[in-house]
């Protein structure tokens, strides 16, 4: 009922009810009790009511609860008189008003008013049906029943009227249906309890009231336990035991729900399908127990990442997880997942040394809901496809569905080059992924440049294979953690020459050999292997040099800080004219800024 009073009819209604309620109190109730023993009785009744309303009996399913304070008011009416009942109500309400400050004052006032109306009118009905105050008369038991029925009818009516005047009618009807469900039981039990309490009042007022409240409290605690068990069971049914995330069944259920809502309200929805990289390798190397431990820890971390966001995450199968991101576009989802990926990369898990990156990583596929997608499983399968694509790009990667590079335009040689490149996959995963990314930039960037078809193809293939010479560099040097010494640098530098030799060995690729050899030449002539400068360097090699450097700067490695896109762009600009060709840097920067706007804006936050 915590809503602002902005409907006129509702205001008038509240005014009317509160007016009636207060009038009843001032006419029939009193601020004080008649004598000291009534005061003592009043204290006991007020205390009982406060306890009963505080420890309501909670009943599953959620939201249902029962308070026995009505039984106390009714017993007061039947045994004492209306003045005591109203005064008890008044002080109880005052104390509740002070105690429950979270509830708005007008809610307290309204509750007080409807109670006083209920109490007064059922008192009236009780008298009218020949009920007599005091000891119970079994021959006029019907008057107790009628008075109590009246009490509940007035209650339902007044609550319903509140909603009728405040909201739409069907809401009130829904509300009324909710109220009447299970009402018979609570109505009958309140009646029985009220009569029991009257009988107790007859013999031992204070001790009887104490017993009554004690019973109610014990019931309240018992039901609370019961309710807790119920909730635990319900929770367990939806939670994956190992990771503590939602399980497969519940994730699907949740996705169905969110999917439907997003469709109806035309709101964006993205889902991210993630899969741990090389989990099998981890399991084989460390044993399944440790694998489970890893899943458990990762589950905790993933669960933490969605805390305080509107996102949910479930464990979909073995090492697969699904994020549901309502109200989120694919781009936002992607940067969220990428940020998470970096955190996971940077977190040390026991035994990850075995993995190719030396850290835990995952590949993620993201799919956004769009009008043509009709079922949740379609969306899910799109995300799964994107995830597979991300895996193909060398893992530890996030990919948005629909952004795949169209490879068919590049024709046959690419497959052969891919085969060459796969050698790197086994030896130097970083170079493999670097090549894949440079290739991707080259595909996109070349479309924006004024290049002949043949040149475009050369650039793309060259980008893919440009570091192939690194297969000749010893593993110790490639994977060395610290700074390289002079001698080692010389060997690294040789990769361009070795690459040139490898590529030249195949007639088909002769045309891209210069790219492989010359992509480390600098515009100012300080590069290697030949120290060419300016226009002496082929145009394609100059382009490749810019792309290659940009990716090298922004490449992320676990446990290391990555240069952000804006920082890398600044660096490119600073070196334009010296290290790089100015005429290439400019369009490249424009290309990056327009294609990856989100990354260039938010990367600082990440």
User: Under the criterion CB under 8 A, does residue 248 sit at the interface with another protein?
Assistant: no
User: Under the criterion CB under 8 A, does residue 102 sit at the interface with another protein?
Assistant: no
Closer CB to another protein, 50 or 156, in the complex? 50
Q: Which stretch binds another protein (CB under 8 A): 37-45, 129-137, 384-392, 472-480?
A: 37-45
Closer CB to another protein, 14 or 84, in the complex? 84
Rounded to 5 degrees, φ, ψ at 166 are -90, -45
Closer CB to another protein, 26 or 43, in the complex? 43
User: Under the criterion CB under 8 A, does residue 124 sit at the interface with another protein?
Assistant: no
Q: Which of 19, 30, 39, 267 forms a contact with another protein (CB under 8 A)?
A: 39
Residues 47-76, one symbol each (x = binds another protein by CB under 8 A, - = not), give x-----------------------------
User: Under the criterion CB under 8 A, does residue 241 sit at the interface with another protein?
Assistant: no
Strands (E) in 456-604, as ranges, are: none
Cross-strand bridge partners of residue 365: 273, 399
SS3 letters across 298-316: HHHHHHHHCCCCCCEEEEE
Q: How far is the CB of 488 from another protein (least distance, A)?
A: 39
By CB under 8 A, what part of segment 274-293 binds another protein? 289-290, 293
Closer CB to another protein, 40 or 218, in the complex? 40
Q: Which spans in 55-104 are helix H?
A: 69-79, 82-99
Q: How far is the CB of 285 from another protein (least distance, A)?
A: 14
User: Under the criterion CB under 8 A, does residue 40 sit at the interface with another protein?
Assistant: yes
Q: How far is the CB of 334 from another protein (least distance, A)?
A: 33
Q: Which of 32, 170, 241, 560 forms a contact with another protein (CB under 8 A)?
A: 32
User: Under the criterion CB under 8 A, does residue 303 sit at the interface with another protein?
Assistant: no
Strands (E) in 283-397, as ranges, are: 312-317, 320-326, 362-368
Reading phi first (left if > 0) and then psi (alpha if -120 to 50, else beta), residue 101 is in: alpha
Q: Is the omega angle on the peptide bond into residue 276 within 30 degrees of 0, that is, cis? A: no
Q: How far is the CB of 49 from another protein (least distance, A)?
A: 14
Q: How far is the CB of 220 from another protein (least distance, A)?
A: 15
* Spatial distance between the Cα atoms of 189 and 250, rounded to a whole number of angstroms: 37
* Spatial distance between the Cα atoms of 170 and 165, rounded to a whole number of angstroms: 12
| 3-class DSSP assignment, residue 329 | coil
Answer yes or no: are the C-beta atoms of 321 and 384 closer than 8 Å: no
Closer CB to another protein, 35 or 170, in the complex? 35
* Spatial distance between the Cα atoms of 118 and 549, rounded to a whole number of angstroms: 81
* Spatial distance between the Cα atoms of 516 and 504, rounded to a whole number of angstroms: 10
User: Under the criterion CB under 8 A, does residue 207 sit at the interface with another protein?
Assistant: yes
Q: Which of 14, 25, 29, 33 forms a contact with another protein (CB under 8 A)?
A: 33
Residues 167-206, one symbol each (x = binds another protein by CB under 8 A, - = not), give ----------------------------------------
* Spatial distance between the Cα atoms of 449 and 436, rounded to a whole number of angstroms: 20
Q: How far is the CB of 71 from another protein (least distance, A)?
A: 22
Q: Please name the helix (run of DSSP H) or strand (run of DSSP E) that holds residue 297, with its range, or none.
A: helix 288-305
User: Under the criterion CB under 8 A, does residue 412 sit at the interface with another protein?
Assistant: no
Q: How far is the CB of 263 from another protein (least distance, A)?
A: 42
Q: How many C-beta neighbours within 10 Å does residue 208 have?
A: 18
* Spatial distance between the Cα atoms of 562 and 316, rounded to a whole number of angstroms: 31
Strands (E) in 116-262, as ranges, are: none
Q: How many residues bind another protein (CB under 8 A)?
A: 12
Q: Which of 36, 138, 412, 605 forms a contact with another protein (CB under 8 A)?
A: 36
Q: Which of 293, 296, 291 is nearest to 281 (CA)?
A: 291
Which positions touch another protein (CB under 8 A)?
32-33, 36-37, 39-40, 43, 47, 207, 289-290, 293
């Amino acid at each position: 009922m915590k809503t602002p009073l902005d409907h006129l009819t509702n205001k008038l209604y509240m005014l009317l009810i509160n007016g009636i309620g207060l009038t009843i109190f001032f006419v029939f109730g009193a601020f004080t009790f008649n004598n000291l023993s009534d005061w003592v009785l009043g204290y006991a009744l007020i205390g009982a009511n406060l306890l009963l309303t505080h420890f309501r009996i909670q009943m599953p399913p959620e939201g249902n609860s029962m308070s026995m304070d009505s039984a106390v008011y009714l017993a007061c009416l039947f045994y004492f008189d209306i003045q005591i009942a109203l005064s008890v109500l008044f002080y109880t309400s005052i104390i509740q008003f002070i105690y429950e400050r979270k509830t708005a004052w007008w809610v307290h006032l309204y509750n007080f008013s409807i109670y006083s109306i209920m109490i007064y009118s059922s008192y009236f009905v009780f008298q009218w049906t020949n009920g007599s105050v005091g000891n119970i008369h079994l021959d006029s038991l019907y008057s107790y029943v009628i008075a109590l029925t009246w009490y509940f009818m007035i209650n339902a009516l007044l609550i319903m009227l509140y909603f009728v005047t405040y909201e739409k009618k069907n809401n009130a009807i829904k509300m009324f249906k909710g109220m009447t469900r299970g009402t018979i039981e609570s109505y009958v039990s309140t009646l029985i309890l009220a009569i029991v309490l009257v009988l107790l009042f007859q013999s031992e007022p204070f001790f009887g009231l104490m017993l009554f409240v004690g019973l109610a409290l014990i019931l309240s605690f018992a039901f609370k336990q019961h309710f807790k068990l119920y909730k635990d069971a319900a929770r367990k049914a939806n939670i994956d035991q190992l990771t503590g995330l939602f399980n497969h069944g519940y994730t699907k259920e949740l996705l169905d729900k969110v999917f439907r809502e997003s469709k109806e309200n035309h709101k964006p929805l993205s889902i991210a399908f993630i899969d741990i990289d090389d989990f099998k390798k981890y399991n084989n190397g460390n044993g399944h127990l440790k694998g489970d431990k890893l899943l458990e820890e990762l589950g905790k971390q993933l669960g933490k990442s969605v805390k305080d966001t509107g996102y949910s995450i479930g464990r979909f199968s073995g090492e697969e997880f699904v994020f549901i991101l309502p109200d989120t576009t694919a781009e936002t989802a992607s940067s969220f997942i990428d940020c998470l990926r970096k955190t996971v990369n940077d977190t040390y898990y026991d035994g990850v040394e075995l993995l190719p990156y030396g850290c835990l990583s995952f590949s993620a596929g993201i799919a956004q809901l769009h009008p043509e997608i009709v079922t949740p499983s379609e969306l899910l399968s799109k995300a799964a496809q994107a995830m597979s694509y991300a895996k193909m790009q060398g893992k530890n990667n996030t990919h948005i569905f629909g952004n795949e590079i169209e490879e068919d335009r590049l024709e046959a040689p690419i497959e052969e080059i891919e085969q060459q490149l796969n050698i790197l996959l086994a030896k130097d995963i970083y170079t493999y992924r670097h090549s894949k990314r440079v290739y991707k930039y080259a595909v996109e960037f070349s479309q924006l440049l004024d290049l002949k078809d043949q040149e475009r193809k050369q650039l793309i293939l060259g980008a893919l294979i440009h570091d192939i010479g690194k297969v000749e560099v010893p593993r110790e040097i490639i994977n060395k953690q610290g700074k390289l010494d002079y001698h080692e640098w010389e060997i690294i530098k040789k990769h361009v020459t070795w690459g040139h030799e490898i590529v030249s060995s195949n007639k088909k690729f002769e045309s891209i050999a210069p790219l492989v050899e010359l992509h480390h030449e600098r515009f100012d002539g300080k590069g290697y292997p030949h120290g060419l400068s300016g226009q002496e360097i082929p145009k394609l090699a100059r382009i490749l040099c810019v792309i290659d450097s940009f990716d090298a700067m922004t490449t992320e490695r676990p446990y290391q800080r990555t240069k952000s896109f804006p920082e890398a762009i600044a660096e490119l600009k600073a070196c334009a004219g010296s290290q790089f060709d100015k005429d290439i840097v400019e369009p490249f920067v424009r290309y990056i800024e327009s294609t990856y706007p989100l990354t260039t804006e938010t990367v600082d936050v990440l």
